[in-house]
Amino acid sequence: MEKVKLIATTNFGLEAVTKRELQDLGYEDLKVTDGKIEIEAGLSDIPVLNLRLRTAERVLILVDEFRAETFEELFEKVYDIDWINYLREDDNFIIEGRSVKSKLFSISDCQRITEKAIIEKLKTKYKVSWFEKSGARVRIEVSLLKDIAQITIDTSGDGLHKRGYREINYKAPLSETIAASLVKLSFWNKDRILADPFCGSGTISIEAAMIGKNIAPGLMRKFDFEKFSFIDENYFKEEKKKCYSEIDYNIKLNIFASDISHKAIDIAKKNSEILGLEEDISFFQKDIRDLDLPNDYGVLIANPPYGERIGKEDVDELNRELGKLYKYLDTWSFYVISANEKFEKSFAKKADRNRKLYNGRLKSYYYQYFGPNPYKK
């Protein structure tokens, strides 16, 4: 079972970013569909992907894929899988389900049938009539799309956005995987200034600092696969060691993180300290209207409030201020994530590029304004 098919799941609209990350890690055989990238890989790649992918949500093992239009078909195909390879007698396997445009639309029935088939198969090896499920958590999903069932095992456990550094949140924090995607989509690199003028809990700045110093995002957390019987624990140990050896401790980054709220700044600072990044990010309280930045080819990534808490007028006014700042900082590139379809009107300039993406369930846009190339000064 050394060879496996893995799936990296992503937020909708960010598949290409994760695909590029995978290619940068050396993976070539990739199949992209909505919110998913299939990877031909080996079991030893499971720790690699979980530790290193910044923009993916989870890493799943694609155990099997088949057509199922009746519960009998579903039962038989699930029973045919060699579950003994994956599950010990006491593993706490949990069945999750989803169904889209399929004849088997009752998710709870799909879950029940899948669980029954797995139990019946396990009984052929483990001579018990009842499985205690007192051991390691193994999340199995039966997912139907247009009558094609995918049976997957979730190797990540908690979503990969849970890095472990964001102990406290301020108001509407951005998911870590989305923040990392925004940085990856910008032309920021470790030699350029970065500004995060609505920093809230500090997510964009912290993700950028981790990218700049080459800190793998999964180093501080646990994964479900660590307890899987079929994954050699040395794979994880070795990859973790490798990740630590690749951290660039000596690099000094130039990141400015500000927010109007003192409380947000305190929280963001504390979050950054968990990773030892306090030297790389300057946190300060500042209203965007008073922000003073050196006009030196920086990159500004903004996640302004989008109006649920402050009124629409105020949101438009803040976006107008951002537009003024862009005019003034004429060597900078600006990137703004906003759920506001009229953002460009208040900003007073059409974006050079605009990407639709989903921030959780919220349809958002990533407005991109490219400044001059700093390397052709």
Ligand X SMILES: C[S@@+](CC[C@H](N)C(=O)[O-])C[C@H]1O[C@@H](n2cnc3c(N)ncnc32)[C@H](O)[C@@H]1O
Of 227, 305, 345, 346, the one binding ligand X by CB under 6 A: 305
β partners of residue 149:
66, 144
Of the candidates 96, 102, 100, the one whose C-alpha atom is nearest the C-alpha of residue 73 is 102
Of 111, 152, 201, 368, the one binding ligand X by CB under 6 A: 201
Residue 208 binding ligand X, by CB under 6 A: no
For 14, phi then psi, to 5°, come to -115, 15
Of 118, 140, 315, 318, the one binding ligand X by CB under 6 A: 318
Report the alpha-carbon distance of residue 101 to residue 145 in Å, rounded.
Answer: 6
Of 55, 114, 181, 303, the one binding ligand X by CB under 6 A: 303
Span between the terminal Cα atoms of the chain, in Å? 54
Of 170, 188, 228, 334, the one binding ligand X by CB under 6 A: 170
Residue 88 binding ligand X, by CB under 6 A: no
Which of the stretches 20-28, 87-95, 106-114, 167-175 binds ligand X when contact is defined by CB under 6 A?
167-175
CB of 316 to ligand X, least distance (A): 12
Nearest residue to ligand X, scored by beta-carbon proximity: 200
Report the alpha-carbon distance of residue 104 to residue 96 in Å, rounded.
Answer: 14
Residue 171 binding ligand X, by CB under 6 A: yes
Q: Give, for 302, the enclosing helix (H) or strand (E).
A: strand 299-302
Binding mask 283-302 for ligand X (x = CB under 6 A): ----xx--------------
Residue 259 binding ligand X, by CB under 6 A: yes
Of 174, 265, 315, 336, the one binding ligand X by CB under 6 A: 174
* Side chain identity at residue 38, one-letter code: E
The DSSP secondary structure of 193-223, one letter per residue, reads -EEETT-TTTHHHHHHHHHHTT--TTTTS--
CB of 22 to ligand X, least distance (A): 25
- Of how many residues is the chain composed? 377
* Strand order across the 92-100 sheet: 30-33, 36-42, 3-9, 58-67, 148-154, 137-145, 92-100
Residue 340 binding ligand X, by CB under 6 A: no
Which of the stretches 27-35, 72-80, 181-189, 256-264 binds ligand X when contact is defined by CB under 6 A?
256-264
Nearer to ligand X, 137 or 286 (CB): 286
Q: Residues 25, 56: contact at Cβ < 8 Å?
A: no
Which of the stretches 25-33, 136-144, 165-173, 341-349 binds ligand X when contact is defined by CB under 6 A?
165-173
Within 233-348, residue ranges assigned H as helices are 233-245, 262-274, 312-328, 343-347
Residue 200 binding ligand X, by CB under 6 A: yes
Q: Give, for 123, the enclosing helix (H) or strand (E).
A: helix 107-123
Residue 244: count of CB within 10 angstroms of its CB: 11
Nearer to ligand X, 171 or 242 (CB): 171
Nearer to ligand X, 254 or 261 (CB): 261
Judged by CB under 6 A, the chain residues 119 through 148 that form the site for ligand X are none
Residues 6 or more apart in contact with residue 53 via CB below 8 angstroms: 8, 18, 21, 22, 25, 59, 160, 217, 218
Of 84, 172, 219, 274, the one binding ligand X by CB under 6 A: 172
Which of the stretches 110-118, 212-220, 234-242, 253-261 binds ligand X when contact is defined by CB under 6 A?
253-261
Q: Residues 16, 45: contact at Cβ < 8 Å?
A: no
Residue 177 binding ligand X, by CB under 6 A: no
Which of the stretches 5-13, 95-103, 172-180, 360-368 binds ligand X when contact is defined by CB under 6 A?
172-180
Count the alpha carbons within 13 Å of 282 in the hemisphere toward its beta carbon: 10
Nearer to ligand X, 222 or 309 (CB): 309
Residue 181 binding ligand X, by CB under 6 A: no
Report the alpha-carbon distance of residue 284 to residue 369 in Å, rounded.
Answer: 25
Q: Which residues are near ligand X by CB under 6 A?
A: 170-174, 197-201, 203-204, 259-261, 264, 287-288, 303, 305, 318
